[in-house]
Amino acid sequence: MSEDCLSLNVYTSDVSPTANLPVMVWIHGGAFTLGSASTYGGEVLTAYHRVVLVTINYRLGPLGFLQTLDDEAPGNFGLLDQIKALQWVQNNIRDFGGDPDRVTIFGESAGGFSVSSLVMSPLATGLFHRAISESGAGLWPVLEKGDLSVTQTIAGKLGCDVNHYDNMMRCLRGKPADEIQRAPEMTQLTYFVIDGRFLPEHPWHLLQKHRLNQVDYLLGTNTDEFGWLLSITLTYVDDDGMNMTEFNAIVPVDLSVMTGSIYPKGDTSTLVPAVLKEYRDPVRPEDPMAIRDQYLQFLTDMWFASSTVMVAQAQSEQPVKVYQYEFQHRTSILSFKPDYVKADHGDEVLYVFGGTLLRNVTSGSWLFPLTEKERELSRDIMAYWVNFATNGDPNDSSGSPRMRTLVDWPRYTPSSQAYLKLDVTSSADVALRKTRMKFWNEEVPRMMGMTSEPTGNGAKLNTGSILVVLLPLVFVLLATM
């Protein structure tokens, strides 16, 4: 294990310095604890479209996000690494045929949250011009500057004296990097730090005040985030569903993490009953399968859909273009997933990078036995993404080959709240999960005591959520597929 990991990969359709191709910079996911740029190949995307693709690495886990009381580890190193990569792109991408004035950052899960944080950061101003967040935007857990709770937890795991700062730091400096990196439990979240530089304030306040970089933004979620891992992580969740006792027991645990990391002044004694009421199926309140499905929607809404809509709304109130989607397709080869799961966390990545179009180099046959409609969906998604990177509009194919006539993707505005349902037969709609998004983005902040002015926004350390387990695990499993 080494901190000498700040490398990147460049794929290009044309190496001529005068090509002036749009540039897409991919930030990988993995809960800020695992993942690698090399997992994502750009061969298909750059073969189908005239674009330069850059995939970057950044420091993860304690090496990327540990906070101390001095400048040696002020927190957010992983995010600052992303800033450094974007600076490299500005200085060097012309040598690979790229246009430094047309840079789009995009990422999924932790990568999507990274993109969203870069949109909020004054340090990133001018380093990119468009942004795409897939299943991750807005509200990631944060700590106040000087909060050593996570550092002390890791130091304690390594046998260091956590009661005396100087002793603790001396002990940590004497530990090999690989030991420090392995110290956190898999259930321990990685936190951003409100450091006054990268993050001037809590993300919720930055969104409310529209203190955001004015860049075009394309963002969205999948229908059933983390659905296929429920039965793995929670043994009592399966094809037969879950009972109300189990539902009532696990929801407060998940909410405590959300409340502790996003709304630290909140009182879960009032929030829990409201959520249990909101996610009680009115037609089949005692049906185990309905209860399970409501729990899955609760997770998707709480961690992904609500904050994505919050970001879309805030960004659309600026003089920029915003496009929202919901990926809905159940991929045919993912038969190991339960029948009740449609589009899961990370499912769209295969389509974004054109993995559906890979062939065996020897036989020429398709590498994955997908349907032709799924390959067409991949061609469409690649075209939408590159069109957006090229022109700021996923419908505008000028400068990018159109694979077939695309369904018109309406622009998201504060009033229309339009979005595109991405599937083998895509269609437009408005106001994604309108009632529940209003609950999460208006009622919950009010119930949790959030105000227009920051009043101490750091998180309380909490490691009990099902999502804390799922975020790292999903990428471990995806990497082995």
Structure confidence by residue, pLDDT tens digits, 132-159: 999 999 888 888 888 888 899 999 999 9
Q: Is the pLDDT of residue 474 over 70?
A: no
Name the one residue in this structure whose structure tokens are 């209003």: 438
Q: Give the lowest-confidence range in 133-137, 254-258, 271-275, 281-285.
A: 254-258
Half-sphere exposure of 45 (CA within 13 A, CB side): 29
AA identity, residue 171? C
Residue 369, burial from CB neighbour count under 10 angstroms (0-12, 13-18, 19+): exposed
pLDDT at residue 464 is higher than 50: no
How many CA atoms within 13 Å lie on the side-chain side of 197?
10
Q: Which range, 33-47, 120-134, 145-159, has the best average confidence (pLDDT)?
A: 120-134
Return the closest-CA partner of residue 219 out of 312, 128, 303, 138: 312
Domain assignment present for 18: yes
- pLDDT average, residue stretch 92-104: 98
Q: Is there a domain that residue 1 lies in? A: no
| 231 alpha-carbon distance from chain centroid | 22
Provide the pLDDT confidence category of residue 370 given band limits of 50, 70 and 90: very high
Res. 480: pLDDT tops 70: no
For the segment 243-252, the average pLDDT, to the nearest whole number, is: 92
pLDDT at position 468 over 50: no
Q: Which of 258, 297, 263 is nearest to 279 (CA)?
A: 297
* Most confidently modeled range among 218-222, 288-292, 341-345, 459-463: 218-222
Which carries the bigger pLDDT value, residue 406 or residue 262?
Answer: 406
Residue 469: pLDDT over 50: no
Most confident of 58-72, 112-126, 173-187, 194-208: 112-126
**The pLDDT of residue 347 is above 70:** yes
Identify the band that residue 336 occupies on the pLDDT scale cut at 50, 70 and 90: confident
For the cut 90, the answer to whether the pLDDT of residue 102 exceeds it is yes
Name 70's bridge partners.
Answer: none
The residues that are catalytic are 109, 225, 345
Residue 167 inside a domain? The answer is: yes
**What 3-state DSSP class applies to 119?**
helix
Average pLDDT across the chain, whole number: 88
Q: What is the reported pLDDT for 239?
A: 78
Is position 248 within any domain? yes
User: In this predicted model, which residue has the larger pLDDT, 453 or 251?
Assistant: 251
pLDDT cut 70: percent of the chain above it: 89
Percent of the chain scored above 90 by pLDDT? Answer: 68
- pLDDT for the residue numbered 465: 40
Q: Please report whether residue 2 resides in a domain.
A: no
User: In the predicted model, is pLDDT for residue 100 greater than 90?
Assistant: yes
Q: Which domain holds residue 419?
A: 8-479
Residue 462 lies in a domain: yes
Q: What pLDDT shows up at residue 297?
A: 94
Q: 323 falls in which pLDDT band (50, 70, 90)? A: very high
Are the C-beta atoms of 433 and 151 separated by less than 8 Å?
no
**pLDDT at residue 186 in the model:** 56
Give pLDDT tens digits for 65-89. Answer: 989 888 778 899 999 999 999 999 9
Q: Are the CB atoms for 471 and 109 separated by under 8 Å?
A: yes
pLDDT at 23 over 50: yes
Q: Is the pLDDT of residue 306 over 90?
A: yes
227 vs 281, more confident:
281
The token pair at 332 is 């045919």
Over range 12-25, report the average pLDDT: 94
Q: Tell me what pLDDT residue 256 has.
A: 82
Residue 319 confidence (pLDDT): 97
Considering the domain boundaries, does residue 3 fall inside one? no
CATH label of the domain that carries residue 202:
3.40.50.1820
* Rounded average pLDDT over 383-391: 96
User: Which band of pLDDT confidence, cut at 50, 70 and 90, is reported for residue 20?
Assistant: very high
Asked if pLDDT for residue 188 goes beyond 80, the answer is: no
pLDDT at res. 86: 99
Q: Is the pLDDT of residue 54 over 90?
A: yes
Q: Which residue has the higher pLDDT, 127 or 231?
A: 127
pLDDT for residue 47 is more than 50: yes
| Tokens 């349902």, located at residue | 421
Mean pLDDT of 385-392: 96
Say how many domains are in the chain.
1
Residues 6+ apart with CB under 8 A from 276: 247, 248, 251
